[in-house]
């Protein structure tokens, strides 16, 4: 793993990109202030990763989030999920049998739940990326089946200043010294003209940007590359849709 990719995991950029991909494929929402990275072990996933209204940390139901394997003071989380993945779900009556029936199934099948039994978590302790990738490639090439695909622009990943930026500075890429990527809801990114982290590399700053501020297209001298042209056209299309819906 190269240093920049490693650092992009440490500063949260890689997690934001992965969660944005999941969000755009599934319709799950992004946290408005970025990922929380709560330190949670497998035994507490369902207790913590539920809406605040029900005692959890999420703004609302139906969101993406990433858990940390380290406590805020650096201690290792008990039963951490460092190498795995998870999904937390809520018992509902959409099955036609009622939420009570679903809760009973959670209990009967030994699913990890919160204290109420309403929220449950399924998890895998390992994510075998190298072995799973070949199956995805083969499925796409031989059967024309995508492992996952984007259905719309639900979430974006915007560039955030790692330090005070001044005119003339050049932005580096993910895992660098100037910016990191924070997940954002698409409407917030579009309405604020957020600069996507994936296109920030090599752009020159043209006005002061405070540390921690989201960079916008107005803060940089944007190139006229094909990638930028397509991205700006896409933004205009989705922004028009948002305004029409409003």
Helix (H, G, I), strand (E, B) or coil at 46: helix
Instruction: Point out which residues pair with 183 in neighbouring strands.
Output: 157
Give the domain 155-245 fold.
Type Iii Antifreeze Protein Isoform Hplc 12 (3.90.1210)
**Per-residue pLDDT, 243:** 81
Taking the model in full, what pTM does it have?
A: 0.90
**Per-residue pLDDT, 94:** 65
pLDDT digits (tens, 9 = 90+) for 27-51: 999 999 999 999 999 999 999 999 9
Residue-range domain boundaries for the chain: 28-130, 155-245
**Per-residue pLDDT, 174:** 87
Q: Cα–Cα distance between 152 and 23 in angstroms, integer?
A: 9
**Per-residue pLDDT, 108:** 94
Q: Cα–Cα distance between 183 and 239 in angstroms, integer?
A: 18
DSSP string covering 63-122:
B----BSB-TTSPBPTT--TT-EEEEEE--STTSS-HHHHHHHHHHTT-EE-TTSSEEEE
Residues of the chain with pLDDT under 70: 1-4, 94-97, 246
**Per-residue pLDDT, 173:** 83
């Amino acid at each position: 793993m190269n240093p920049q990719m490693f650092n992009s995991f440490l500063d949260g950029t890689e997690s934001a990109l992965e969660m944005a991909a999941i969000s755009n494929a599934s319709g799950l929402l992004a946290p408005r202030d970025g990922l929380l990275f709560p330190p949670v072990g497998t035994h507490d996933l369902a207790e913590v990763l539920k809406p605040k209204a029900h005692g959890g940390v999420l703004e609302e139901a139906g969101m993406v989030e990433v858990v940390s394997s380290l406590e805020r003071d650096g201690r290792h989380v008990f039963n951490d999920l460092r190498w795995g993945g998870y999904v937390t779900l809520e018992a509902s009556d959409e099955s036609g049998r009622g939420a009570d029936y679903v809760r009973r199934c959670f209990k009967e099948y030994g699913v990890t739940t919160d204290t109420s039994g309403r929220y449950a978590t399924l998890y895998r302790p390992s994510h075998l990326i190298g072995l799973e990738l070949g199956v995805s490639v083969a499925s796409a090439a031989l059967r024309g089946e995508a492992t996952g695909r984007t259905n719309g622009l639900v979430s974006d990943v915007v560039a955030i200043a790692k330090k005070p930026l001044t005119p003339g500075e050049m932005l580096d890429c993910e895992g660098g010294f100037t910016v990191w990527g924070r997940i954002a809801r698409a409407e917030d990114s579009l309405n604020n003209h957020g600069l996507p982290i994936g296109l920030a590399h090599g752009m020159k700053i043209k006005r002061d940007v405070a540390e921690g501020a989201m960079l916008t297209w107005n803060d940089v001298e944007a190139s006229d590359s094909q990638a930028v042209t397509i991205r700006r056209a896409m933004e205009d299309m989705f922004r028009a849709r948002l305004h029409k819906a409003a």
